[in-house]
Structure 1
Amino acid sequence: MRKISLGFVRVHILYHAREEPFFGLWMIEELKSHGYEMSSGTLYPILHGMEEKGLLEVEEKTVDGKVRKYYSITQEGEKLLEEARKKAAELFEEIQE
């Protein structure tokens, strides 16, 4: 079940990165609102891996004297999100029967 949940988490991340740049703590709270309990020790390796794969890009901004990394979606991430949407819709149709 953990691997499936992590797949859903990655789709959530891509979706929100498409909506607007976000920082890690915000994403932890957002995922929590969807029932995913995630620590920074779990989330940040996922974000870094997605960045390494070219799905996310990072911009550092100083906010209230703290440097925060803001993640946004790349063109490659957009393609993967669209593919995930199609596959999710297809799966939803199948499991509703």
Structure 2
Amino acid sequence: MLDELMEHGYDISAGTLYPILHSMEKDGLLTKEEKNVNGKIRKYYRTTDKGNDVLHEARAKAYELFKEIKN
């Protein structure tokens, strides 16, 4: 996830990202699955229905803001 964010110009450390993910999980926006991959525990996050609803709303608000700035 950090590599993907870097590709888009974000410089975020794991120390910043993981508290955000834990908070989103606590709020019911994400679920976490832990898998053992080559002896290392990997965490896989997925959005919940609530998380998808919040994302849709945030995108709509961002689009409205973009339209206002553009004009």
Report how far residue 62 of structure 1 moved: 1.2
- More helix by proportion, 1 or 2? 1
Aligned to 2:42: 68
Instruction: Name stretches of at least 5 consecutive residues in structure 1 with no aligned partner.
Output: 1-26
Structure 2: tracts of 5 or more residues without a match: none
Is the partner of 1:82 in helix, strand or coil?
Answer: helix
- Distance in 2, matches of 1:95 and 1:80, equals 22
Aligned residue number for residue 32 of structure 2: 58
Displacement of 1:69 in angstroms is 1.0
Following the alignment from structure 1 to structure 2, what is the Cα–Cα distance between the partners of residues 88 and 56? Answer: 21
- Structure with higher Rg: it is 2
Q: Shift of the alpha carbon at 1:34?
A: 1.3
TM-score w.r.t. the length of structure 1 is 0.70
Aligned residues: 71
Which structure carries more relative contact order (alpha carbon 8 Å, separation 6+)? 1
Paired residue type of 1:62: N
Q: What is the percent sequence identity of the aligned residues? A: 61
Between Structure 1 and Structure 2, which shows a larger proportion of strand residues?
2
**Aligned-pair CA distance for 1:80:** 0.2
For the aligned residue pairs, the C-alpha RMSD in angstroms reads 0.8
